[in-house]
Structure 1
Amino acid sequence: MLIGYCRVSTKEQNLDRQIESLKDYGCEKIYSDKSTGKNFNRPEYIKLKDAIRLGDTLVVHEFDRLGRNKRLTLKEIQYFKDNQVRLIALNLPTTQLDTSDNLMLDTINNIVIELYTMMAQDEVEKREKRQQEGIRIALEKGIKFGRRKIEYPKEWEGIMGLVENKTINNIKAMEMLGLKKTTYYKLLKDYKSNKV
């Protein structure tokens, strides 16, 4: 059985081109995910692995649609080989040929698969490196990441004095400061730890 798999990294991206090429190749069943290729914890990919059987052929538009992490992708490729599932990437000319009885073409195909997974992994590593460099430069420029720290209201000290003297309780203090419960108690915890 010819089974197709396609993937895009984000929900905004379109799968139509990949699906069309898999249908044209003759895939009887197509699984598709809109998810990162960093790992294989994808709903449709998991269903595909449950459904695929010995002697089936798994067809992808390009090998990086299978996965972008070299180590994990090679592990998946090995899984399919161990279970006698043939792999075909439509963008590779060697996979268009019948490799089932030809050791030389199988070897070429395996080399190409290895090169593709290496390039995909390299691309992920480059992107992550650029991202880390961008974060480092932003931090050097004083740009802060994460949630902004909550400022204490101007009346905080005076109202905290009333709470500590038991003139008012925390609920009244929240009202007077115009703060939500979570914000008030976060500030109170921070205030108490700074006083110690």
Structure 2
Amino acid sequence: MAYYGYHRISTKEQHLDRGIIEIKRFCENQKIKLESIFTDKITGKNFDRPRYTVLVEDVLRVGDTLIITELDRLGRNKQEILKQLRFLEEKGVRVMVLELPTTLFDLSQMENNLAKMMIETINNMMIELYASMAQAEMEKKEKRQKEGMEAKRLRGEWDEVGRPRAIEQEKFNQEFMRVVQKKVTPTQLQRELGLTSSTYYRYRKNFYEIFPEFLQSV
């Protein structure tokens, strides 16, 4: 029987240190020999993760224990979390979640069947609740990101959702005056600014909305 840790963060800007320290501290306090900790820097939407895949498919064996700090470090999709926990249970791997005290009891060592059943019930309820909370937090974050992108688009800070503006409109207006004054052709300016045709004509439309008086010269 061996103990392994797993910790995941969503972005490269976050740090793995906190989770690693928490798992190691727990093992030291409980006098548990920890074999190693596997880590991933990847989204929690699904379980297509390189290090986690190695851990589950090549390392964990029947009777082993997997330690994680929080349920959302395992994942953020409720159904995927529950599916993964069932898979590990069928594989004979025990999962300990440090934020859920009921998962720290070794039920296999309990002789009182009623107490064991009660803890199992509470444990399942807590896992269901925390899995729902993890997914709700992910959905809230995604909603905020979409709202932020839409707000930027409406403010004209993004020329397409998810893509920064190629050039500031004010800068384009200054350069486009050369076309109005027939100093350069539209094609030459488009090439100089490195704009696609659709982007160029979108800026051009904005220009004439701001300076309708120049429409007479077109």
User: Residue deviations 1:32-56, cap 9 Å, x none?
Assistant: 1122212212211111112111221
Equivalent of 2:132, from 111, 115, 118?
Answer: 118
Q: Partner amino acid for 2:118?
A: M
Report the secondary structure of 2:107's partner residue: coil
Q: Cα offset for 1:143?
A: 4.4
> Cα gap change, 1:147/1:133 in structure 2, threshold over 3 Å: closer, same or farther?
closer
> Cα gap change, 1:128/1:4 in structure 2, threshold over 3 Å: closer, same or farther?
same
2: CA distance between counterparts of 1:61 and 1:42?
18
> Cα gap change, 1:10/1:135 in structure 2, threshold over 3 Å: closer, same or farther?
closer
Equivalent of 2:145, from 131, 134, 151?
Answer: 131
Q: Does 1:38 align with 2:38?
A: no
State the TM-score, normalizing by the size of structure 2: 0.66
Aligned residues: 170
Equivalent of 1:108, from 111, 119, 122?
Answer: 122
Q: Cα offset for 1:140?
A: 4.1
2: CA distance between counterparts of 1:22 and 1:117?
20
2: CA distance between counterparts of 1:149 and 1:19?
41
1: CA distance between counterparts of 2:16 and 2:151?
35
Q: Cα offset for 1:21?
A: 2.3
Report the secondary structure of 1:28's partner residue: strand
Report the secondary structure of 1:72's partner residue: helix
User: Residue deviations 1:20-71, cap 9 Å, x none?
Assistant: 2222323222101122212212211111112111221111011111011112
Equivalent of 1:56, from 55, 64, 75?
Answer: 64
CA RMSD between the two structures: 2.9
Q: Partner amino acid for 1:13?
A: Q
Aligned to 2:185: 156
